[in-house]
Each structure stands twice: as structure tokens, then as C-alpha cells.
Amino acid sequence: MAHPTFDVIVIGAGGMGSAAAFELARRGRSVLALEQFPLVHDRGSSHGHTRIIRRAYYEDPAYVPLVRRAFERWYDLEQRTGQHLLTDCGCLVIGRPEGEVVSGVLASAGQHGLDVEHLTSSRLRERYPQFQFSDDYVGVLERDAGFLYVEECVRAHLEQARLLGATLHADEPVLSWTSNGNSASVTTAKATYHAQKLILTAGPWAGQLLAESGAMLRIMRQTLLWFGTNEPERFRRDHFPIFLVDVPEGPFYGLPEIDGRGIKVAQHYGSPELMSPSEVDRAIHAADEAPVRAFLTQHIPGANGPLHDAQTCIYTLTPDRHFLIDLHPQFANVAVAAGFSGHGFKFSSVVGEVLADLVEHGGTPWPINMFGFGRFQTIR
Ligand SMILES: Cc1cc2nc3c(=O)[nH]c(=O)nc-3n(C[C@H](O)[C@H](O)[C@H](O)COP(=O)(O)OP(=O)(O)OC[C@H]3O[C@@H](n4cnc5c(N)ncnc54)[C@H](O)[C@@H]3O)c2cc1C
């Protein structure tokens, strides 16, 4: 059966692909988005109720202009849909002053004039008695942060894309793709589709679609856990912030109580690196709970209540933990966004814009130089 030729085909309709499909449809392009699972599912990286969004980016000050733009784009999406997607909530970083997270937050805030408040160890105890840390730990509070309802954000991007004319195919895995630099073809079990441009946003499966590109991607199983608290009103966002804690066991982060499920807590990184999502154990085990419960017992004892809920999720990692957003090294009509290394969702609203720029103009005014394929050559 003959299929129409699209301006752009997007492979993978998760966090990044949904935003790209929306932006291209908004620009009047004909778009086909192909998703291997039902739209908005829990087998990739964009599920688990919430995602943190913060501006004073400890990972590198170069992210700050992008996160500022991401905020604008989330507000724009809220306005278009009339939905509430982003909730304001302060973000408190706790660590030793010389540690990577505290010093990184201060570097970003200093370089970009962001408003943060320093909390000495005694001020930290006074202001947030829910936390217990020794005197060598300090806090940095950024009020201008918040959290996104992750599934609602993906759904909103997809729904807006559809309303603007994009074609969305769920339950249709892409088996292969080809490009000659000017046009591209994508084959699924149902059909072969043609387009001028291609966007690859396959999340944890990106490595499989990028085999010849030189991309160095690994994946990591993560678990999200929700714990009951002894006094729920003390752990609501009017009393308790988003937190990111830099302790020797590795960073832990969490969000306040929002819906009766308790606070959400997780360890950032800390699991073995894997090659493929098929290796990920989706079941939750006692061993997943143990390190988080040990952290809560020691540092947030009031939130060491019953385990109310748990989910597995997948990080896609680059060696330097910075994103991969670039044109494909062999094909100028193929743009790639992957390897978000466990901190990408907040940016998806602007990544959609960047990907649309890349396939339309071959470049973007947004600062993405540090996210290129080229760096993998030097890492090898
Ligand atoms: C536990 C956890 C907590 C996180 N917390 C935060 C946070 O607080 N803040 C933050 O900013 N980020 C956070 N992140 C990171 C963020 O969620 C991810 O960076 C982001 O969701 C990645 O989006 P993606 O589009 O690359 O992947 P996905 O959303 O997984 O999308 C990829 C899509 O491609 C589809 N696909 C793959 N292969 C094919 C194929 N062959 N054919 C068709 N479809 C295909 C998949 O099914 C999937 O739907 C967290 C991640 C996890 C796992």
C-alpha cells in the first residue's frame, strides 16, 4: 500500500519525541510519530508521576539558558491546553560545601544571576527540621523551581500535535530506517513510510537505532519509591521542598507529598550499566528499598513510613552524563536526541524546538555545542 510522504518522521513518541512532533506540527509541517508501545506508557523513561525542574544547574552552567527556555515552553503548553502541568516548589540542595552538587549549584547561580539562599547547617536545621544532617552539611535553596506531571506533559504534547494535524501511530515498532541524506524511509511490521527528514528520539532503545553512528549509550535501571510519613502536613510543599542530597552513598532526591502516596524518594545513578532495555528487571525487590530506607532512617526519619508505591524506570547514559542532541554524523537530514542521563525531562519542551530547528535549518540558536556526537571520538 502506498503511503504519503511526510515532511518529518519522529521515531519514539516519549518525552522528547512528543515535544518534537508538537513543535513541527505547530510550524505547519506534516509529521508522522511512530511509537512502539501505547502512547504514554511505563516502559521507557517518561513515567512515574513527577519530574523535577530546577534552574541553578549543578551539572553545568551551560544548561541554564536552555532550562529558562524550557520553563517558557511549559507555560506556553499550559496556556494552549488549559491544563496544570508545572507546580512551583522550592528545591533544596544539601551537601558538603566543597561537594559537586552544592558548589555546582552556586557556580550556575553566580554565573547566571539566579536567586538562591544559602543555609548554614544550623539555619538548615531550624528551617527544615525534617532533615537530619551533621554540622559539615549546608543547604542551598532555590525557590524558583518545581515539578512537572510527567505523563500529563507527554500526553499534552501529543494531543496538541494531533490537533495541529500530526499523525500518531501507537503500537507500531520501527524495525529499521534508512537515509540517503535527502530523504529517509522507515519500516515497521505494517508498512514502509517516507519522509524528507527523520528525528530519532527512542530513549533507552536509541542505541539500537544508532548502531553505526558512534554514539556511546548505556542504560541503567532505576527505581522510584513512595513512602508514608509520620505527619503528612509537615511533608507537603508548603513545609517541605524538593530535595537533592549529596551524601557519600551517592545522590538521593525526592519530592514532597502531593497526593496521599507519601514522599517520592530515589537514588540517582548507583546501578550497573546495561546495554539494552531487555536486560532491565521490571520487578521491585527488597534490595531496591534497602538503600533508600537506610537514607531515610538516617536523614529524614519522619518519612521512613510504609512503602506505598514503587516503579522501575530507565536512564539512558552517555559517558560524560551530558545529553546527545545533534544531527546524525552520516546523514544531514536526521536529527537525534538521546542519552539524557537521568536529567532530561525538564528540557523536553525546548528539546522539541531544538530538534525542529535542526531538521529544518541544520542548526539552532540554542546552546547545544556540548551535546554533539563529536565528543565520543575523543572519549574512545
Ligand atoms: C526514575 C527517573 C527519574 C527521573 N527524574 C527526572 C527529573 O526529576 N527531572 C528531569 O528533568 N529528568 C528526570 N529523569 C530523566 C527523564 O525522565 C528522561 O531524560 C526523559 O524522560 C527521556 O525522554 P526520552 O524521550 O529520551 O525517552 P522516552 O520517554 O522513554 O521515549 C522514548 C520512546 O521511544 C519509543 N521507542 C523506542 N524505540 C522505538 C522503536 N524502535 N519504534 C517506535 N518507538 C520506539 C519508546 O517506546 C519510548 O516511548 C528521570 C528519569 C528516570 C528514569
pLDDT tens by residue, the chain, 380 residues: 556 799 999 999 999 999 999 999 999 999 999 999 999 999 999 999 999 999 999 999 999 999 999 999 999 999 999 999 999 999 999 999 999 999 999 999 999 999 999 999 999 999 999 999 999 999 999 999 999 999 999 999 999 999 999 999 999 999 999 999 999 999 999 999 999 999 999 999 999 999 889 999 999 999 999 999 999 999 999 999 999 999 999 899 999 999 999 999 999 999 999 999 999 999 999 999 999 999 999 999 999 999 999 999 999 999 999 999 999 999 999 999 999 999 999 999 999 999 999 999 999 999 999 999 999 987 65
Cell of 318: 552517555
Give nearest CA residue, ligand 1 atom 24. 203
The yes-or-no answer on residue 169 being catalytic is no
CATH code matching the domain that covers 5-47+151-217+320-379, chosen among 3.50.50.60, 3.40.718.10, 3.40.50.1470, 3.40.50.1820:
3.50.50.60
Residue 226 one-letter amino acid? W
Whole-number pLDDT of residue 379 = 67
Beta bridge partners of 246: 251
Q: Which of 26, 29, 43, 51 is catalytic?
A: 51
Are 266 and 224 a contacting pair, CB within 8 Å? yes
- Using DSSP bridges, classify how beta strands 86-88 and 50-53 pair: parallel, antiparallel or unpaired: unpaired
- The dihedral formed by the CA atoms of 346, 58, 116 and 85, expressed in degrees to the nearest 10: 10
Cell of 149: 506531571
Q: From the CB of residue 2, how many other CB atoms can be counted at a distance below 10 Å?
A: 7
Which runs of consecutive H residues, i.e. helices, occur in the chain? 15-26, 64-81, 100-112, 121-127, 150-163, 206-209, 286-299, 348-361, 374-379
Q: Show me where the domains of the chain are located.
A: 5-47+151-217+320-379, 89-144+221-315
Q: How far is the CA of 278 from the centre of ligand 1 (A)?
A: 15
The yes-or-no answer on residue 264 being catalytic is yes
What's the per-residue H, E or C state across 238-269? Answer: CCCCEEEEEECCEEEEEECECCCCCEEEEECC
Cell of 222: 532505576
Give nearest CA residue, ligand 1 atom 35. 12
What is the C-alpha to C-alpha distance for residues 39 and 22, in angstroms, rounded to an integer? 14
Q: How far is the CA of 173 from the centre of ligand 1 (A)?
A: 16
The yes-or-no answer on residue 322 being catalytic is no
The yes-or-no answer on residue 190 being catalytic is no
Which of the 8 DSSP states describes residue 281?
-
Whether pTM exceeds 0.95: yes
**Architecture of the domain whose range is 89-144+221-315:** 2-Layer Sandwich (3.30)
Q: How far is the CA of 135 from the centre of ligand 1 (A)?
A: 38
Residue 375 one-letter amino acid? R
Q: Is 174 helix (H, G, I), strand (E, B) or coil?
A: strand
What is the C-alpha to C-alpha distance for residues 320 and 292, in angstroms, rounded to an integer? 25
Whole-number pLDDT of residue 254 = 98
Whole-number pLDDT of residue 220 = 98
What is the C-alpha to C-alpha distance for residues 357 and 85, in angstroms, rounded to an integer? 25
Pocket lining for ligand 1, CB < 6 angstroms: 11-17, 34-37, 44-46, 48, 51-52, 173-174, 201-205, 222, 224, 266, 313-315, 338, 340, 342-346
Question: How many helices (H) and strands (E) would you count in the chain?
Answer: 9, 20
Atom of ligand 1 nearest to the CA of 34: 43
Whole-number pLDDT of residue 14 = 98
314: left (phi over 0), alpha (psi -120 to 50) or beta: beta
Q: What angle do CA 217, 218, 223 make, to 5 degrees?
A: 135
Backbone phi and psi for residue 68, each to the nearest 5 degrees, phi listed first: -60, -45
Q: Which of 50, 201, 229, 316 is catalytic?
A: 50
Q: Which of 47, 49, 54, 343 is catalytic?
A: 47
User: What b-and-e string marks burial along 107-136, b requiring 16 or more CB atoms within 10 Å of the CB?
Assistant: ebbeebebebeebebeebbeebebbebeee
Q: Is 87 helix (H, G, I), strand (E, B) or coil?
A: strand
Backbone phi and psi for residue 177, each to the nearest 5 degrees, phi listed first: -145, 155
The yes-or-no answer on residue 313 being catalytic is yes
